Amino acid sequence: MASAAAAKRLEGKTILVTGASSGIGWSTVKEFARTSPKNLKIIATARRVDRLEQLAKEVREEVGDGVKVLPVALDVSNPEAVKNFVPALPEEFREIDVLVNNAGLVKGVAQAPNIAEEDMNIMFSTNVTGLINMTQAILPIFKKRDQGGRGDIINIGSIAGRDPYAGGSIYCATKAAVRAFTDALRKELIATRIRVIEIDPGQVETEFSIVRYYGDKAKADAVYAGVDPLIGDDIAEVIVFAATRPENVVIADTLVFPSHQAAAGVLHRRST
């Protein structure tokens, strides 16, 4: 539930969420809108722009015209598209205050030496260089502000970046890279008011496993059998909480599990 202080701290801001067409990103756009429904701009990006248009419509129906959602097609794995992203935004959306680097994916469960090069490349170019390129595209906007700069960078890592598991070596490596980049960036920006935040979810039921299993819904459903996974809204609440703390408070590093999970592969399943 949003506090009045949280709503006030967000008022007038512009939020950019990558990977907003589904799962955690979708929920995050809605949670920001619900938290500060009077005066907020949100840029919702992903490759599937039809989904983003649906999201914008749902936000308008739920909270009204106080929140302006701008759907923008953006493939974060395409460096040219990322470079052209800010200059192509309408003027009124360019003063971004919060970047949520959420777009990401996993492909397959193959183990070395059988990992497809294509899967490796898409995971690294989305989860790592995509996130870094987005950060580099937005940081100059933050750095122009007073006291060395202001703004929030919220990176979505994973338990997989802390606790690598068999069958996830590439995905785990990408999330470990996100962690290293985030920690270094926080140190690089120490003399500014820019907050660098990492949120690492455990198991969340989204389209993540459908993508991992190349669209095989039965395999994806089996991942969540006998457990109560988190949902996108659970992580969205943590993201918005972090973004709405007083300016000198940095929720630097957060690990969020569902209650049945204690590590990447340590899950308690109900017997059926």
Cβ at position 139, least distance to ligand NDP in Å: 19
Decide if residue 36 touches ligand 8X3 (CB under 6 A).
no
Q: How many residues does the chain have?
A: 272
**Which residues between 155 and 174 bind ligand 8X3 (CB under 6 A)?**
158-160, 168, 171
Burial of 259 (0-12, 13-18, 19+ CB in 10 A): exposed
- Give the Cα separation of 251 and 131 in Å (integer): 19
Closest residue to ligand 8X3 using C-beta atoms: 158
Contact at 8 Å (CB) between 169 and 112?
yes
**Which residues between 206 and 265 bind ligand 8X3 (CB under 6 A)?**
264
Q: From ligand NDP, ligand 8X3, none, which one binds at residue 264 (CB under 5 to 8 Å depending on kind)?
A: ligand 8X3
Nearest to 19 by CA among 269, 232, 249, 234: 232
Residue 154 vs 189, nearer CB to ligand NDP: 154
Contacts with ligand NDP by CB under 6 A lie at 18-25, 46-48, 74-77, 102-105, 126, 130, 156, 158, 201, 203-204, 206-208, 211, 232
| Residues belonging to the active site | 171, 175
Phi-psi region of 266 (alpha: psi -120 to 50; beta: other; left: phi over 0): beta
Residue 63 vs 235, nearer CB to ligand NDP: 235
Residue 71 vs 192, nearer CB to ligand NDP: 71
What are the DSSP calls for 93-122, one per residue?
Answer: G-S--EEEE----------TT---HHHHHH
Residue 78, classed as helix, strand or coil, is: coil
Q: From ligand NDP, ligand 8X3, none, which one binds at residue 75 (CB under 5 to 8 Å depending on kind)?
A: ligand NDP
Question: Which residues, in sequence order, are bridge partners of residue 204?
Answer: 230
Residue 172 vs 194, nearer CB to ligand NDP: 172
Cβ at position 166, least distance to ligand NDP in Å: 17
Structure-token pair, residue 116: 């497809």
Q: From ligand 8X3, ligand NDP, none, which one binds at residue 258 (CB under 5 to 8 Å depending on kind)?
A: none
DSSP state of 189: T
User: Is the omega angle on the peptide bond into residue 113 within 30 degrees of 0, that is, cis?
Assistant: yes
CB-based contacts of 143: which residues, under 8 Å, 6+ apart?
A: 149, 192, 194
Where on the chain is the footprint of ligand 8X3 (CB under 6 A)?
A: 158-160, 168, 171, 203, 264
